[in-house]
Amino acid sequence: MLKSLFAVIAAVLLLGACDEPPPPAAAPPPPPAPPTFMVFFDWDRSNLSSQALNTIQQAATAFKTRGAARVTATGHTDTSGPEAYNMALSLRRANTVKDALVKEGVPATAITTVGRGEAGLLVQTGDQVREPQNRRVEIVVMVQMAAFDKAAYCQDLMASWRKTSTASPAQGPVPEAMADCTAGRYDRGIPVLEKALTDSRVALPAKKML
């Protein structure tokens, strides 16, 4: 009798274990931060020192080793001087760095320049303070993500849903997402269809890269 009781308990535990959903897949690691380089300037100047040129050369090398990439050069000033003047000075500094990057082989079309003036201080100070760390240009080399064919991907998502779903096509958010895909509103339709397939434990189709 005792053996039979143990056998029943074991069977119940085994069935319970079978009903448990599989553990969620581990989240992919976050992408590495884009490389950032800083070029510093003398007070009220936008010309480049030898150290600044060396830093710009390093940034150009980082760009060349990353294939499809873009560069953002953001100019800053300290808080000394009028705000309007500092805004123009920060943009001059950014454009000076852009010109040096172009000389190092970075295409001008891949570089965006931004002037922020006194905004975004590296070292927080009061007004009218000459702070060398705030007189700078930050160079960020950002790798561009490869684009995929959203229209084809939408069609593949819809085909996967039609093939695997037993739900009525008139129920839930999926029909609206399909209408979005058909109308070319891919950024609205794709997330909904991806979630519907994932919730149904259906593998997502591969994205066709452009």
Residue with the larger pLDDT of the pair 188 and 55:
55
Q: Which segment of 43-57, 104-118, 143-157 scores lowest on mean pLDDT?
A: 143-157
CATH topology assigned to domain 36-143: 60s Ribosomal Protein L30; Chain: A; (3.30.1330)
Are 178 and 157 spatial neighbours (Cβ–Cβ below 8 Å)?
no
pLDDT tens, 95-118? Answer: 999 999 999 999 998 999 999 999
Residue with the larger pLDDT of the pair 65 and 39:
39
Whole-angstrom Cα distance, residue 143 to residue 162? Answer: 36
How remote is the C-alpha of 85 from its chain's centroid?
33
Which of 200, 104, 196, 106 is closest to 158 using CA atoms?
Answer: 196
Where would I find the H helices in 74-173? 83-103, 150-164
Domain with CATH 3.30.1330.60 in the chain: 36-143
Q: What is the mean pLDDT of the chain?
A: 82
Which of 199, 187, 102, 134 is closest to 160 using CA atoms?
Answer: 199
How remote is the C-alpha of 72 from its chain's centroid?
14
Averaged pLDDT for residues 174-187: 86
Q: What is the pLDDT of residue 35?
A: 79
Whole-angstrom Cα distance, residue 82 to residue 28? Answer: 47
Q: Which segment of 78-87, 92-101, 151-160 scores lowest on mean pLDDT?
A: 151-160
Question: Which of the four pLDDT bands, split at 50, 70 and 90, describes residue 3?
Answer: low
Provide the b/e sequence for 71-88 (b: ≥16 CB within 10 Å).
bbbbbbbbbbbeeeebbe
Question: Which of the four pLDDT bands, split at 50, 70 and 90, describes residue 14?
Answer: low
Q: What is the pLDDT of residue 98?
A: 95
The type of residue at 127 is: D
Its pTM stands at 0.58
